Chains A and B, each alone.
Chain A
Amino acid sequence: DAGVIQSPRHEVTEMGQEVTLRCKPISGHNSLFWYRQTMMRGLELLIYFNNNVPIDDSGMPEDRFSAKMPNASFSTLKIQPSEPRDSAVYFCASQMLAHEQYFGPGTRLTVT
């Protein structure tokens, strides 16, 4: 298995632009999680899906952030418009039932 796949690995964009991060979970996993890692706040959960349905989005910082999971093999995290304070590493993780989560390699986002 290829593991959790995220794209792009690096994204540099200007303030105000739309950013879309992509994630392909491990096949057969039924839960998907989006995290953000910053120096100040560490690893924080943004949103998670169970069987493609958003369950808890209380970690999404603002309305500028949105996430979708149109099917079991794909999810997106969109930031529109982006701001410099959104600069961070964004991780996607997937999970089968109630077992451990498997993380992707992350997307390093820089907003200038």
Chain B
Amino acid sequence: DQQVKQNSPSLSVQEGRISILNCDYTNSMFDYFLWYKKYPAEGPTFLISISSIKDKNEDGRFTVFLNKSAKHLSLHIVPSQPGDSAVYFCAASLSGSARQLTFGSGTQLTVLP
């Protein structure tokens, strides 16, 4: 049973436009959510996170929105740049001294110049 789902395996966006990546989860106990970016032949890199007590967190061009009632989160990238082309994973975790992450399957974002 996939507790974290990314239903779009790929997304193409024109440079300068907004990229919106979506993620759904099923476990209402998750209280912390993260987005990671992964380039080929590299490990995932932490991008941005959000606690369940918030509904929005912004860091530069990246904003994560959380809708707890819908069990949905999204990552907005504005404006999109060719260097943003990568696989984006959302992850969710429960409270604890070590945050064990459950990852989605990833979305390949391609930003076209």
Contacts and interface: CB of A to CB of B under 8 A. Distances in A.
Q: Are A and B interaction partners?
A: yes
Interface residues of A, number: 25
B98 A42 contact: no
Contact of A101 (B97, B101, B104): B101
B100 A56 contact: yes
B100 A48 contact: yes
A82 to B, nearest CB: 22
Nearest to A3: B43
B17 to A, nearest CB: 27
Nearest to A4: B43
Among B49, B101, B103, residue most surrounded by chain A Cβ atoms (within 10 Å)? B101
Nearest to A100: B46
Nearest to B105: A42
Contacts of A4: 43
Name the prevailing secondary structure of the B interface residues. loop
Contacts, number: 57
A98 interface: yes
Interface string B42-60: 1111100100000000000
A110 to B, nearest CB: 14
Among A31, A43, A50, residue most surrounded by chain B Cβ atoms (within 10 Å)? A43
A58 to B, nearest CB: 10
A100 B91 CA distance: 10
A53 to B, nearest CB: 10
A88 interface: no
A103 to B, nearest CB: 3
Interface in B13-49: 32, 34, 36, 41-46, 49
A30 B32 CA distance: 19
10 contacts: A31-B98, A33-B100, A45-B101, A48-B98, A98-B99, A99-B99, A100-B46, A102-B46, A103-B36, A105-B43
Interface of B: 32, 34, 36, 41-46, 49, 89, 95-106
Interface of A: 4, 30-31, 33, 42-45, 48, 50, 55-56, 91, 93, 95, 97-106
